[in-house]
Amino acid sequence: MPRTLARGAVAYIAAISLASLLAAVALFRASLPAADPISFLVVAGLAALAHAYPIQGFRHQAYQVTLPFIVLASASFNGLELAGFIVLIHLTEQLRVRRPLYIQWFNACDYFLSAVLALTLYHRAVTLLPAGALGELTAALAAACSFILLNRLLLAIALWLARGLSPVASGLFQPELFAADLVIAWIAGPMLVLALLAGTWTALLTAGPLLLARPALSALLRHHQGAPGRIQVPAA
C-alpha cells in the first residue's frame, strides 16, 4: 500500500479483508450444493467479460453491468465457487485496467461481502416466499438490492477514510445512479428464472439488455460530469 494512505484507511481495508475471510469460512461450512462446471463457466465467463469493460465515471470511478451475473452466481454457486467467481472477474478486470493492487484487493473483498449478503438474502427469501417464478423474481430483486446497498456503503466508507470525501460528496448515492442500478438489477430476475427453468445457457440471451444499459449509463455519467456545479469524485 502507498505510504500516503491514511492509517484509518489501512485499518479499514484490513478489517474488510478479515470480514471477507470470516464470511468465506462461514460460507464454506454451509455446504451449499455446487453448480455444474458448464454453468459455472457460462456465468463466470459472461461476468468476467462484463466486468473487464467498466464504464468510466466521475474522474477514475468505474461502473460495471456485472450485477445480474452476480445475482445468478449467488443463487446457484456454493461458497468455493462464489469466491472463485469474484476472484476471476477482478483478475480479468485487472488484466485490462491495471488498478493499484490495494484498490483491486479492496474491490474484490467489497464485492465478495456484498455477494455473500445477496446469497444469504436470496436463499432466505426463497424459503419464505411462495414457490414459483414470482417468488424467484422477488428473491432475485432482494438479492440485487442488498448487493447494491452494501457495495456502495463499503466503498463510501473507504472514500471517506482514504480521501476525506463524505458519502454525499462521493456521488455514490445520487438518485439517478441508483435508478440506473435498479434498471440493471431488474434484469437479474428474468435471467435467474429462465436459468432455473431452461438452463444457465439462457444467460447468453437474457444478457442482451445489458448491451443497451451500457450506453445509457455512459450517457448519464457524461451528463453529470459535464453539468456545472457537479462535484468531481476520485476513484476509491
Sign of CA dihedral 88, 182, 213, 71: positive
Q: Is 2 exposed, middle or buried (0-12, 13-18, 19+ CB in 10 A)?
A: exposed
User: How many Å apart are CA 146 and CA 28, to the nearest integer?
Assistant: 21
Strand locations in the chain (E): 55-56, 62-63
1: which 3 cell numbers? 500500500
In the structure, how many helices (H) and strands (E) does the chain have? 10, 2
- Cell numbers for 110: 467489497
Per-residue pLDDT of the chain in tens (236 residues, 90 and over written 9):
555 778 888 999 999 999 999 999 999 888 888 888 999 999 999 999 888 887 765 544 567 788 999 999 999 999 999 999 999 999 999 998 888 888 899 999 999 999 999 999 999 998 888 888 888 888 999 999 999 999 999 998 998 898 777 777 766 777 777 777 788 888 888 888 888 888 888 888 887 777 766 666 666 666 655 554 443 333 33
Cell of 213: 444499459
pLDDT for res 224: 58
**Other beta carbons less than 10 A from residue 165's beta carbon:** 19
- At residue 48, φ and ψ (nearest 5 deg) are -65, -40
Work out how many domains the chain is built from and give that number. Answer: 1
pLDDT at 177: 74
What is the rounded radius of gyration, in angstroms, for the C-alpha atoms of the chain? 17
Domain encompassing residue 31: 18-226
Distance CA 6, CA 149 (A): 25
Q: Are 116 and 82 in contact (CB under 8 A)?
A: yes
Count of C-beta atoms within a 10 Å radius of residue 149: 15
- On whether residue 22 sits in a domain, the answer given is yes
Residue 181 and residue 178: Cα distance in Å, rounded? 5
Show the cell assigned to 122: 436470496
Phi, psi of 147 (to 5 degrees): -65, -45
Best CA proximity match to 140, nearest among 49, 206, 73: 73
Is 215 part of a structural domain of the chain? yes
Residue 209: all three cell numbers together: 439488455
Asked if residue 13 belongs to a domain, the reply is: no
Q: pLDDT at position 236, please?
A: 36
pLDDT (0 to 100) of residue 78: 92
Give Cβ neighbours of residue 37 (< 8 Å, ≥ 6 apart).
Answer: none
